């Protein structure tokens, strides 16, 4: 999957503004960003359901804007809002749509994979928001796609369902599928993805494996201690040196209230997308 | 992590449009009969109209000494067909588009023609069920004679099928009107009511001003109603048609043109989403 200089405008406003991205086969890639950053627009252009105003896009070697049925058969989509008929049960819907695929996953297997066993006979109209998301996920992977797009797949899911979903994604990865997902949840991105792309104002501001995200920012540790009843704070790339010097000059040989903190993934993310970061004081360095 | 895996084995082609269409007919019927409101409305409307108009105007006669109920049955049968095809579909498709059900079909790569075929199949079955309810009521409740012989029954059959298909196409087309599903529904209902008056469903078509007749002649309902009259009314009544005859050829032509041209236009312009910008 390759994007070069992707541009999408609504009126005068560029929602996606020169976005470049490459995702390799078999990779799990998470697009992370605040609301309105252009995540959904980008993923919809990749899915071939939205037109672009500029740039070059190749998905599975094909331009999605002109892709046909054979391409669609290789791609699975879990979009944010796609609906299902309220009057059908979970099992009925999965059974029906199995007929749209050459080699669908068995319905019972899908229902178990998304944890809807107890709701299999329930009509969609009576499912909770999180349960509907799970059905959407099941429909998205029903046709054994090579590439799966998931737009905020776990919104509304309870923690148990999210863990189950994570397992499902790991299963897809093990089968060699490529996964592109958008999420608000940093832990989800860190847990699932090989690489994370942070998107803000229609551009990718950083692409990196989750534990290397914001490497520059992360190198800066905050050393904090009390001195004469006041809290002192130093931001440094070399906290060890700072500590050594501090201890050497300390009269008592001790530093009351000493903490050394590194920014958490969340702090890194917030500073990347330009939001005011909250200072973390509760960790001893290693980010989650 | 980002190593390139070997490309998976070539995939089997997805199921054909025809196979998906067959599945969709089954699904559409299941959905139709689960929506109680729609079932009641579609089936009860023509029956209730027949009962009301027969009670009010039952003693009247139409040109050619045709009892009112007999004349009206042709009109109400035609209206019923428009209801189960044009009206029900236009509303249903606008709703499915609005609540995202069509998005699902789009990302699955569903051929639009399979979706239309599913709708058409559902329309044909529900139309048949509706007529199977209406005709016995007219026959046994109001002594309206049924089509006189096999020829007339065949006329009834091809007019009903072509009419239902033309209504299907028209329904797909109007579902694409701008606005919310609710406003599309209102627009469709208003249009259907006006069209019923223009097409001679309630009044004798010859009694209408000629501009009204000409406007109606563009749309399928006028031809559907006229075709139904040719099936239900005695041959002598043909003399009282505007053209002085049943015009079967022209009826078939107009309805078939709606079906064929309309289907081509619909397949080419169909939108799975409200906006694809």
pLDDT band at A282; cut points 50, 70, 90 = very low
> Hey, is the C-beta of A173 within 8 angstroms of any chain B C-beta?
no
Check residue A249 and give its pLDDT: 82
Q: Which CATH class is domain A2-212?
A: alpha beta
- DSSP per-residue string spanning A162-228: HHHHHHHHHHHHHTT-EEEEEES-HHHHHHH-SEEEEEETTEEEEEE-GGGTTHHHHH-EEEEEEET
> Beta strand pairing status for B66-67 and B61-62?
antiparallel
Q: Is the pLDDT of residue A110 over 60?
A: yes
CA distance B98 to B271: 11
* Residue of A82, A89, A132, A145 for testing the chain B interface, max B β-carbons within 10 Å: A82
A249-273 pLDDT, tens digit per residue, is: 877 778 888 888 888 777 878 888 7
Match 């579609």 to its residue by tokens: B42
> Hey, is the C-beta of A145 within 8 angstroms of any chain B C-beta?
no
- B1, A87: Cβ pair inside 8 Å? no
Candidates B20, B101, B109; nearest CB to A84: B101
Domain coordinates of chain B in residue numbers? Answer: 17-269
Coil vs helix vs strand at B118: helix
Q: Mind telling me how many Å the CA of A184 is from chain B's nearest CA?
A: 23
- A85, B23: Cβ pair inside 8 Å? no
- Helical segments of chain A, H only: 39-47, 69-74, 90-98, 107-113, 129-141, 159-174, 186-192, 215-219, 239-249, 265-272
A135-184 pLDDT, tens digit per residue, is: 999 999 999 999 999 999 988 888 988 999 999 999 999 999 999 999 88
Check residue A276 and give its pLDDT: 55
Query: Which chain B residues contact residue A30 at CB under 8 A?
Result: none
Coil vs helix vs strand at B203: coil
Q: Where in chain A is the domain with CATH 3.40.50.300?
A: 2-212
Stretch 185-224 of chain A: residues touching chain B, C-beta under 8 Å: 194-195, 209
Candidates A83, A102, A194; nearest CB to B99: A83
Q: Is the pLDDT of residue A285 over 50?
A: no
User: Residue B102, class by beta-carbon neighbours within 10 Å (0-12 exposed, 13-18 middle, 19+ buried)?
Assistant: buried
Query: Which chain B residues contact residue A27 at CB under 8 A?
Result: 1-2
Q: Is the pLDDT of residue A33 over 90?
A: no
B193-210 pLDDT, tens digit per residue, is: 999 989 988 877 888 888
- B34, A195: Cβ pair inside 8 Å? no
> Hey, is the C-beta of B108 within 8 angstroms of any chain A C-beta?
yes
DSSP A119: G
Q: Is the pLDDT of residue A46 over 90?
A: yes
Q: Mind telling me how many Å the CA of B159 is from chain A's nearest CA?
A: 32
Mean pLDDT of chain A: 86
Q: Mind telling me how many Å the CA of B87 is from chain A's nearest CA?
A: 19
Q: Which residues of chain B have pLDDT under 50?
A: 1-5
Give B216's contacts (C-beta < 8 A, 6+ positions apart). B195, B198, B199, B200, B205, B208, B222
Query: Which chain A residues contact residue B94 at CB under 8 A?
Result: none
């Amino acid at each position: 999957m390759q994007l070069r200089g992707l541009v999408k405008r609504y009126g005068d406003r560029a929602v996606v503004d020169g976005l470049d991205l490459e995702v390799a086969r078999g990779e799990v890639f998470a697009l992370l960003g605040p609301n309105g950053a252009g995540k959904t627009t980008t993923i919809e252009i990749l899915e071939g359901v939205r037109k672009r105003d500029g740039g070059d896009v190749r998905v599975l070697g094909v331009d999605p804007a002109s892709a046909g049925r054979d391409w669609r058969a290789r791609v699975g989509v879990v979009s944010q809002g796609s609906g299902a008929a309220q009057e059908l049960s979970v099992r009925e819907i999965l059974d029906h749509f199995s007929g749209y695929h050459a080699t669908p996953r068995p319905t019972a297997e899908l229902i178990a994979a998304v944890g809807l066993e107890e709701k299999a006979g329930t009509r969609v109209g009576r499912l909770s928001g999180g349960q509907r998301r799970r059905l959407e996920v099941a429909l998205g992977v029903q046709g054994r796609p090579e590439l799966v797009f998931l737009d905020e797949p776990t919104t509304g899911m309870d923690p148990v369902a999210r863990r189950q979903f994570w397992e499902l994604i790991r299963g897809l990865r093990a089968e060699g599928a490529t996964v592109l997902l958008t999420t608000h949840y940093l832990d989800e991105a860190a847990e699932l993805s090989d690489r994370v792309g942070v998107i803000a104002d229609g551009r990718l501001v950083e692409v990196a494996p989750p534990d290397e995200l914001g490497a520059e920012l992360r190198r800066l540790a905050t050393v904090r201690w009390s001195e004469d009843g006041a809290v002192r704070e130093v931001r440094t790339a070399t906290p060890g040196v700072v500590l050594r010097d501090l201890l050497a000059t300390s009269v008592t040989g001790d530093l009351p209230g000493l903490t050394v903190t590194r920014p958490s993934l969340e702090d890194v993310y917030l500073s990347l997308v330009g939001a005011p970061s909250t200072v973390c004081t509760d960790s001893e360095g290693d980010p989650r | 992590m980002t190593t390139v895996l070997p490309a998976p084995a070539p995939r089997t082609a997805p199921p054909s449009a025809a196979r998906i269409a067959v599945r969709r007919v089954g699904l559409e019927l299941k959905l139709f009969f689960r929506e109680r409101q729609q079932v009641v409305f579609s089936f009860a409307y023509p029956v209730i109209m027949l009962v009301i108009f027969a009670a009010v105007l039952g003693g009247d006669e139409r040109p050619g000494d045709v009892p009112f109920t007999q004349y009206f049955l042709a009109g109400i049968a035609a209206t019923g067909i428009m209801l189960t095809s044009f009206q029900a579909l236009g509303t249903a498709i606008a709703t499915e588009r609005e609540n995202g059900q069509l998005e699902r079909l789009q990302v699955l790569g569903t051929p639009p023609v399979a979706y239309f075929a599913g709708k058409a199949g559902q329309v044909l079955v529900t139309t048949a069920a509706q007529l199977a309810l209406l005709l016995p009521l007219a026959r046994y409740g109001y002594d309206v004679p049924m089509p006189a012989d096999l020829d007339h029954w065949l006329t009834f059959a091809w007019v009903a099928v072509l009419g239902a298909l033309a209504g299907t196409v028209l329904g797909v087309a109007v579902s694409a009107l701008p606005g919310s599903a609710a406003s599309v529904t209102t627009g469709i209902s208003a249009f259907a009511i006006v069209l019923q008056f223009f097409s001679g469903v309630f009044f004798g078509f010859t009694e209408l001003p000629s501009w009204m007749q000409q406007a109606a002649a563009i749309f399928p309902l006028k031809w559907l109603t006229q075709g139904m009259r040719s099936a239900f009314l005695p041959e002598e009544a043909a003399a009282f048609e505007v053209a002085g005859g049943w015009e079967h050829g022209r009826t078939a032509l107009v309805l078939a043109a709606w079906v064929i041209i309309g289907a081509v236009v619909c397949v080419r312009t169909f939108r799975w989403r409200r906006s694809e910008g």
